[in-house]
């Protein structure tokens, strides 16, 4: 037991002695460490000086889901072979956290990048502005073998070349990994915050606004797609019945004018038939018109409301890399790495000398 304690004390003593020796060694190399540290500080200072500031566009919106409990009206309409929604609650793909993923989907981000905006009286696609301020076009200018990629406002997405698709995907991938942040204020609330960072202030603002706008339109359209289709179908039926009713009413009036005093009873048959057709069409028209109004009311109740709370307003929040902070970090980091390198180099040389002496 005493031997174990003695060994532990010797190990601790050797460890402390080793730290003292290393400290004295580093102290003897203070000029080298300080010199390398100053170089590192100067490099970080130059980096911070030339690094462009990053602008953050922040948009907050609230999603209000409207009730679609129209089962009573739906049952009435179903008696006539019609479907006006009835509260099936489509749009389940946007429940909970799925809405956040929708805002980061490739479909919406690419659609936003291909949106045309007007800046300083000039219209341009957001993707072309992104290429410009990220200086991607310089790669093509410095390498004549690579043809430049240009996006046109009147070009269909299906007509994109392989280069256009590839570059658009790379931009999308970079945006969702480093630039775009979508989150909820609270899991229990339907308030969403969208933040986008870019070195171009105007791009950050317009990209954020267009992204939420496209997401809202897509969300509302998908949520009410079935009910909206029913409205269109019912409107078509109402129009066609109304046209047929007008024709029958006009025909009945003409026929009655031509046969005001029929000598035989059979002469009244065409008039009676047309009157019966008018009554049938009038009943159909009334029922279809009623169901059309019910369907429109259902659409109005089902249509969600995307309420913008805060929009990005110029000037945006700007973050610039601190020059003094960067210089201090560079000095400390380069000094530490230099000291560590000197210690490892000294230890390696010492081990090599021991191995050589043992061999001889």
User: Which range (165-174, 258-267, 344-353) has the least confidence?
Assistant: 258-267
Q: Residue 41: inside a domain, yes or no?
A: yes
In this prediction, residues 340-350 reach a mean pLDDT of: 82
If asked whether residues 70 and 116 sit together in one domain, one would say: yes
Q: What is the pLDDT of residue 11?
A: 66
pTM > 0.95: no
In this prediction, residues 302-311 reach a mean pLDDT of: 77
If asked whether residues 184 and 252 sit together in one domain, one would say: no
Q: Residue 11: inside a domain, yes or no?
A: no
Q: Residue 127: inside a domain, yes or no?
A: yes
If asked whether residues 195 and 103 sit together in one domain, one would say: yes
If asked whether residues 117 and 140 sit together in one domain, one would say: yes
More confident call, 194 vs 1 = 194
If asked whether residues 121 and 28 sit together in one domain, one would say: no
Tell me what the pLDDT averaged over the chain comes to: 77
Q: Residue 203: inside a domain, yes or no?
A: yes
The single residue listed with the structure tokens 């990048």 is 113
If asked whether residues 291 and 143 sit together in one domain, one would say: no
Q: Residue 259: inside a domain, yes or no?
A: yes
Q: What is the pLDDT of residue 69?
A: 47
If asked whether residues 67 and 151 sit together in one domain, one would say: yes
Q: What is the pLDDT of residue 354?
A: 63
If asked whether residues 209 and 245 sit together in one domain, one would say: no
If asked whether residues 232 and 216 sit together in one domain, one would say: no
Asked if 248 contacts 278 with a C-beta cutoff of 8 angstroms, the reply is: yes
If asked whether residues 327 and 190 sit together in one domain, one would say: no
The CATH number of the domain where 105 resides is what?
3.30.1890
If asked whether residues 271 and 140 sit together in one domain, one would say: no
Q: What is the pLDDT of residue 127?
A: 93
Q: What is the pLDDT of residue 204?
A: 94
Q: How many domains is the chain partitioned into structurally?
A: 3
Q: Residue 124: inside a domain, yes or no?
A: yes
Of the spans 115-129, 199-213, 309-323, which averages the highest pLDDT?
Answer: 199-213
The single residue listed with the structure tokens 């009036």 is 253
- In this model, does residue 236 exceed pLDDT 50? yes
- In this model, does residue 95 exceed pLDDT 70? no
More confident call, 195 vs 293 = 195
Q: What is the pLDDT of residue 314?
A: 87
Tens of pLDDT along 157-180? 888 888 889 899 999 999 999 999
Tens of pLDDT along 143-160? 666 677 889 888 888 888
Q: Residue 256: inside a domain, yes or no?
A: yes
- In this model, does residue 331 exceed pLDDT 80? yes
If asked whether residues 270 and 219 sit together in one domain, one would say: no
Residue ranges making up the domain that contains 258 = 228-302
Q: Residue 236: inside a domain, yes or no?
A: yes
């Amino acid at each position: 037991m005493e031997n174990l304690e003695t060994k532990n004390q010797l190990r601790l003593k050797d460890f402390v002695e080793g730290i003292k020796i290393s400290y004295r060694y580093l102290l003897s190399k203070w000029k080298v460490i300080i010199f390398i540290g100053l170089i590192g500080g100067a490099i970080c200072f130059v980096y911070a000086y030339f690094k462009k500031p990053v602008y953050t566009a922040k948009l907050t919106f609230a999603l209000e889901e409207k009730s679609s409990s129209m089962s009573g009206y739906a049952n009435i309409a179903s008696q006539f072979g019609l479907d006006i929604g009835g509260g099936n609650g489509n749009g389940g793909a946007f429940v909970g956290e799925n809405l956040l993923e929708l805002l980061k989907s490739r479909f919406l981000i690419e659609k936003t990048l291909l949106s045309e905006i007007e800046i300083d009286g000039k219209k341009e696609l957001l993707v072309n502005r992104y290429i410009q301020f990220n200086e991607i076009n310089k790669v093509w200018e410095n390498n004549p073998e690579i043809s430049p990629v240009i996006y046109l406002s009147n070009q269909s997405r299906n007509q994109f070349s392989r280069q256009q698709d590839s570059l658009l995907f790379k931009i999308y991938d970079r945006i969702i990994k480093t630039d775009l942040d979508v989150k909820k204020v609270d899991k229990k609330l339907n308030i969403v915050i969208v933040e986008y960072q870019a070195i171009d202030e105007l791009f950050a603002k317009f990209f954020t606004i267009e992204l939420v706008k496209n997401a809202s339109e897509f969300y509302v359209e998908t949520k009410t797609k079935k009910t909206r289709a029913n409205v269109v179908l019912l409107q078509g039926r109402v129009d066609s019945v109304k046209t047929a009713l007008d024709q029958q009413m006009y025909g009945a009036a003409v026929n009655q004018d031509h046969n005001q005093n029929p000598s035989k009873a059979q002469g009244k048959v065409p008039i009676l038939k047309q009157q019966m057709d008018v009554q049938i069409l009038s009943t159909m028209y009334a029922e279809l018109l009623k169901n059309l109004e019910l369907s429109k009311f259902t659409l109005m109740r089902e249509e969600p409301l995307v309420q913008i709370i805060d929009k990005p307003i110029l000037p945006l929040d700007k973050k610039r890399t601190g020059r003094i902070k960067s210089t201090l970090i560079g000095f400390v980091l380069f000094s530490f790495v230099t000291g560590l390198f000197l210690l490892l180099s000294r230890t390696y040389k010492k081990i090599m000398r021991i191995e050589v002496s043992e061999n001889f």
